Copies of this chain bind each other. A is one copy, B any other.
Amino acid sequence: MYRTKTCGELRAANIGETVVLSGWVQKSRELGGMTFVDLRDRYGITQLVFDENKNAALCEEAKKLGREFVIQIEGKVVERSSKNPKMDTGDIEIIVSKLTVLNTSEIPPFTIQDDTDGGDDLRMKYRYLDLRRQCVRKNLELRHKMAFEVRSYLDKQGFLEVETPVLIGSTPEGARDFVVPSRMNPGQFYALPQSPQTLKQLLMVAGFDRYFQIVKCFRDEDLRADRQPEFTQIDCEMSFVEQEDIITLFEGMAKHLFKTIRNIDITEAFPRMTWHDAMKYYGSDKPDLRFDMKFVELMDVLKGYGFGVFDNAEYIGGICAKGAATYTRKQLDQLTEFVKRPQIGAKGMVYARVEADGNVKSSVDKFYSQDVLQKMKAAFNAEPGDLILILSGDDTMKTRKQLCELRLEVANQLGLRDKDKFACLWVIDFPMYEWSEEEGRLMAMHHPFTSPKPEDIPLLDTDPASVRANAYDMVINGVEVGGGSIRIHDSQLQAKIFKILGFTPEKAQEQFGFLMNAFKYGAPPHGGLAYGLDRWVSLFAGLDSIRDCIAFPKNNSGRDVMLDAPSAIDQKQLDELFLDIKEIEK
């Protein structure tokens, strides 16, 4: 036993006790014959005192301690003369009587504190030092707690956590699989699961009734934005349920997490919005509802007055930023530049301020009379001091997405995206399919096992693109934290869906035969959903990137720079796997 107490637990009540502590030297300073050392462990920081007058030799030893040395001390808890109310242990300090250096440390490549001087690359290379920083460790503590609470909730609801295999078969539908060559089956490959989708459906066929798993999933995608090649899913499935049952149960889980993790009581039901409305009013299937700025369509209001851009547009829509009429010309020009960036792709932006007297002053005044502008003002319910921003374009969906980006940017600028405020939402009634320009065919919007709404089934033959799915996403603050669907449990309907997705019966059989066969033996009605744990933790922790809640994340090239993985392997290993590496062009 290297300690009797941790560095986070001593209080005034412990004064007079002799204790043994172990930890890292956070910092030390000398002051009038005294050496003060801040000793740190996971639980906190405790101040140690070495007094030259009382024990010169020991104090001499203490002066040699460097940052991040690992030490063990014995000493007496005393009241601190200058208390530090910011520290849990700020009432006390330890007069050290015995010091043992358990390990030395080289000078760390960056400072181990919340506002470190270490850049991103350096911190990732020395992630084991980065993780010593309280702000990073807290995220992983939160992650542990969230996973624990998810399990507690689902266990109480009768769910069984079942581990599904990591080495499965490759299914080219969807994203790209990571594959694993099999030595015992030369020339053949396992694949790592993109999700346990088909396996959890087989568990429903097996009568498991309520399944969940917190499970690693894998996608070999080019890593843009905030993606990782391996990520963690809270994967759930239930039998004999309809959409309403799933929404009720998992809304309950979300509320349980809000309560236990953030101590937030959500008593009301989450609002629900159809996919159609989400696109129409927010230009996104995951609208951020922490603030309003709902889209207003202006085709009726602004067309036909000689402003060619609008007159020729397929879509004209805008948002009203409350109280933002103070935006300067420069700020508005910057917003225009923002929407014209290639990632967004708008051609321009029209703005209008509502002045104190109620008049509207716009960037297109030469085309519009005050009368028309007042009609526009009325459409937004705009008031003096408000700023109206308008985009238009010849593709409704594309323009809405541009307007969505503008809405989020303006909200950022106005401080409306408070990380401690949460707006939860169910988006429902997703379309079954979306058209893929790249593939030249309809693709499943969720996945090919999603069931159509019963009333839309006749449309599968006549107008598949209009068929709505029994699919739903949980959205919090503009982040899709989870999503799922009621599945198809009828092998004939499943075959039809595969056909619409362009599978020949042979191809469908080859890839999903095991599932379609299973459906022949009494598949129950079932459905489920999956949450992205990384995203959800990030949201609760108020992080900008999922990387900060992952112990050992990979960079944008899929590399673990600390482990230096991936790397070359021995020829012997390649030979055993019957593999050759092709000439790689530099």
Question: Which residues of A line the B interface, CB within 8 A?
Answer: 1-3, 22, 24, 40-43, 68-70, 72, 102-106, 108, 126-132, 137, 140-141, 143-144, 147-148, 151, 155, 160-170, 172, 176-192, 199, 202-203, 205-210, 216, 218, 220, 222-223, 229-230, 232, 240-242, 244-245, 489-490, 514, 518-525, 550-552, 554, 557-560, 562-570, 573, 576-582, 584
Which 8 residue pairs spanning A and B have beta carbons closest together?
Answer: A169-B565, A105-B522, A131-B206, A2-B240, A188-B566, A182-B566, A68-B522, A580-B580
B68 touches A163 (CB 8 A): no
A155 touches B165 (CB 8 A): no
Distance from A192 Cβ to chain B, minimum over Cβ atoms (Å): 7
- B190, B518, B568: the one contacting A189 at CB < 8 Å is B568
A558 touches B229 (CB 8 A): no
- B161, B229, B558: the one contacting A144 at CB < 8 Å is B161
B557 touches A522 (CB 8 A): no
- A220 to B2: give the CA distance in the assembly, Å: 39
Q: When A184-B557, A202-B128, A564-B514 are in contact, do A140 and B160 touch as well, CB less than 8 Å?
A: yes
Distance from A218 Cβ to chain B, minimum over Cβ atoms (Å): 7
A551 touches B203 (CB 8 A): yes
- A579 to B581: give the CA distance in the assembly, Å: 5
On chain B, the residues within 8 Å of A207 by CB distance are 24, 40-42, 131-132, 137
On chain B, the residues within 8 Å of A557 by CB distance are 184-185
Q: When A161-B148, A176-B183, A185-B558 are in contact, do A584 and B579 touch as well, CB less than 8 Å?
A: no
For this complex, 5 residue pairs linking A to B, each with C-beta atoms less than 8 Å apart, are A43-B209, A129-B206, A169-B565, A179-B180, A580-B582
B140 touches A182 (CB 8 A): no
B166 touches A216 (CB 8 A): yes
Q: When A169-B564, A169-B565 are in contact, do A206 and B580 touch as well, CB less than 8 Å?
A: no
- B2, B104, B203: the one contacting A242 at CB < 8 Å is B2
B168 touches A560 (CB 8 A): yes
Q: When A3-B240, A189-B569, A524-B102 are in contact, do A554 and B165 touch as well, CB less than 8 Å?
A: yes
Smallest Cβ-Cβ distance to A216: which chain B residue: B166
Beyond A188-B566, A191-B569, 12 additional contacts (C-beta under 8 Å) are A68-B522, A128-B202, A137-B206, A141-B160, A144-B155, A144-B160, A166-B218, A167-B178, A169-B560, A179-B573, A179-B577, A514-B564
Q: When A131-B208, A551-B203 are in contact, do A106 and B1 touch as well, CB less than 8 Å?
A: no
- A560 to B166: give the CA distance in the assembly, Å: 11
- A518 to B109: give the CA distance in the assembly, Å: 12
B565 touches A191 (CB 8 A): yes
B141 touches A1 (CB 8 A): no
B24 touches A220 (CB 8 A): no
On chain B, the residues within 8 Å of A176 by CB distance are 183, 573, 576
B161 touches A147 (CB 8 A): yes
